[in-house]
Chains A and B, each alone.
Chain A
Amino acid sequence: MAKLDYSGWRVVREGLRSQSGWGEAWRNPEPRAAYDAIIVGGGGHGLATAYYLAKTHGMRNVAVLEKGWLGGGNTGRNTTVIRSNYYYRESAALYDMSLKLYEGLARELNYNVMFSQRGMITLAHSRHDLEAAARWVKAMRINGVDTVMVDTKEIARRVPILDMSPEARFPVMGGFLQKRAGTARHDAVAWGYARAADALGVDIIQQCEVTGFRRATDGTIAGVDTSRGPIAARSVALAVAGHSTTLAEMAGFRLPVTSYALQAFVTEPLKPVLDTVVLSLATGVYLSQSDKGGLVIGGALDLYPSYAQRGNMPMARNVLGAVAQQFPRLGRVRLLRQWAGIVDVVQDSSPILGATPIPNLLINCGWGTGGFKAIPAGGTLLAHHMATGAPHPLAAPFSLARFSTGALIDEAAASGIAH
């Protein structure tokens, strides 16, 4: 299928032709008997991997297998925040690469992913929070991530709906700001990558669940069994956040991953009240306002392992209670929706990228609560490993081997992130 370019001219022309000339954004092909590479999981990371395999490495005989529909898992369930404010050098390099790729993504994919660099403010509520924030900011600046401390006056100016009074339940003592952080339209990221990968010849096969793995006599991966029959492949990659351990078990190895529900909430549409992303270190709650006007709210993980994509009430109460306490004028705003995604939580709160115990079976998982912001980087790095047979230098520290060498990248302890 010839790729249809989107442009202002096309919008005008289709407006005059009753929108009759758009056509499908990607094909819906039957699976072939064999591919050079198969990517399991049609979310952001899987689709990005397929795109970069085709674009950067010239591999066109590639399939993405998705058991449901594109972006129907965590890609469609996140809170759309993109940032690179991490403590360790390895993490900062990884997430900042991703942020920079996001900056050029709409143009590269010819698809409006609605990346809006509205900035992100992290609030400190005590002297200790402030000291941790200062240490964190200095580490980020050494690592080349532009972040600045902001005082209460600046926070009050940027977030007028925040309760900054001395009597506030969570008094604000300062914070820090990453100006290049922001939000993007999550579905558009998946759709944009899908459309661009399809145009380069990648087969995107939906409603195709992987039910087993095929091995060659020497133990290397030879393909997959699916609900639509067996498919051979020389290289297979797993990008199935939430169900990584299920597939790993099917393939015969274990992962240091536990699945938890992470809830998110959207309010009824409001007039513009918030033009940045705000995160509170005290409550773990963060929110931003979508382009449609709804406030998109996230918080901490539910407290016990779960595959239930709905979340539980005590955590919903904690998160929404904190919003009402910190933003009193939002206390009577009504919720439109609540949902949960199932996230891959690893003890050191860093992703797992690269080789598995099975030759030519690679994995991308363990992003915890923060996989969306990493989609362009995760795709680039996994594609590099699949195409060249060796990890990209930026991905090497995030190998599965770090759990036996002890070279953990403990971002939970360092930058205080939830995942």
Chain B
Amino acid sequence: MLLINCPLCGPRDELEFRCGGESHVSRPGPAETVSDTDWSAYLFARSNPKGVHYERWVHAFGCRRWFNVARHTVTHRIEAIYAMHERPPVAFDGSDGL
């Protein structure tokens, strides 16, 4: 069970949130210059690390605000929570006993 610290509402149970998948995926463009391969990579290819994953979450049953979470996909430990417009924090080595 995750305790997620919503930037607006404070710590809440994970049941109130939804995960929106990988964050920091930028849309290629301008559209007429984008190849099918690049467009496919944008739509479908995702980072799927066994380690820290930078992802978007929404407080669906609270303030409905989106924010970014850096979360370890093996321990599920939340390393950082930061705003949508912020750059991801420096990489975590994930060396917490794994």
* Chain A positions near chain B (C-beta within 8 angstroms): 243, 245-246, 254-259, 303-308, 312-314, 347, 403-405
Contact = CB atoms under 8 A, between A and B. Distances in A.
A292 B98 CA distance: 36
Contact of B41 (A254, A303, A313, A314): A254
B61 interface: no
B40 interface: yes
A405 B36 contact: yes
A312 to B, nearest CB: 6
A303 B21 CA distance: 10
A308 B76 contact: yes
Contact of B48 (A245, A313, A404, A405): A245
A22 to B, nearest CB: 39
A312 B45 contact: no
Given A256-B44, A314-B15, A403-B43, 6 more contacts: A246-B50, A255-B48, A304-B71, A305-B73, A306-B76, A403-B40
Contacts of A307: 50, 73-74
B37 interface: yes
B53 interface: yes
Q: Which 8 A-B pairs have the closest CB atoms?
A: A256-B44, A404-B40, A304-B19, A245-B48, A254-B45, A404-B36, A403-B40, A403-B44
Q: Which of B15, B39, B73 has the most chain A CB within a 10 Å cutoff? A: B73
Contact of B76 (A245, A256, A312): A312
Nearest to A304: B19
B68 to A, nearest CB: 13
B44 A347 contact: yes
Interface size class on chain B is 20 to 34
Given A304-B19, A308-B74, A314-B15, A257 B36 contact: no
B49 to A, nearest CB: 8
A18 to B, nearest CB: 46
Interface string B27-60: 0000000001101110111101010010100000
B53 A314 contact: no
Nearest to A306: B73
A305 B55 contact: yes
B12 interface: no
A306 B73 CA distance: 5
Contacts of B45: 254-256, 403
13 contacts: A255-B45, A256-B44, A258-B21, A305-B55, A306-B74, A308-B73, A308-B76, A312-B76, A313-B1, A314-B1, A347-B43, A403-B43, A404-B40
A256 B46 CA distance: 6
A405 B43 CA distance: 12
A303 B37 CA distance: 29
A195 B85 CA distance: 55
B6 to A, nearest CB: 15
Q: Which of A243, A257, A307, A405 has the most chain B CB within a 10 Å cutoff? A: A307
B64 interface: no
Contact of B18 (A258, A303, A404): A303
Contact of A305 (B18, B37, B40, B48): B48
A354 to B, nearest CB: 16
A305 B36 contact: no
A403 B43 CA distance: 9
Contacts of A404: 36-37, 39-40
A404 B36 CA distance: 5
Interface string B1-25: 1100000000000110011010000
Contacts of B37: 404
A312 B1 contact: yes
Contacts of A259: 48, 50, 73
Contacts of B74: 306-308
Nearest to A257: B48
Contacts of B73: 259, 305-308
Contacts of A255: 45, 48
A254 B38 CA distance: 12
A303 B40 contact: no
A252 B41 CA distance: 14
B19 A303 contact: yes
Contacts of B21: 258, 305
Q: Which of A246, A305, A403 has the most chain B CB within a 10 Å cutoff? A: A305
A415 to B, nearest CB: 20
A306 B39 CA distance: 26
Nearest to B76: A308
Contacts of B50: 243, 246, 259, 307
Contacts of A258: 21, 46, 48
B52 to A, nearest CB: 11
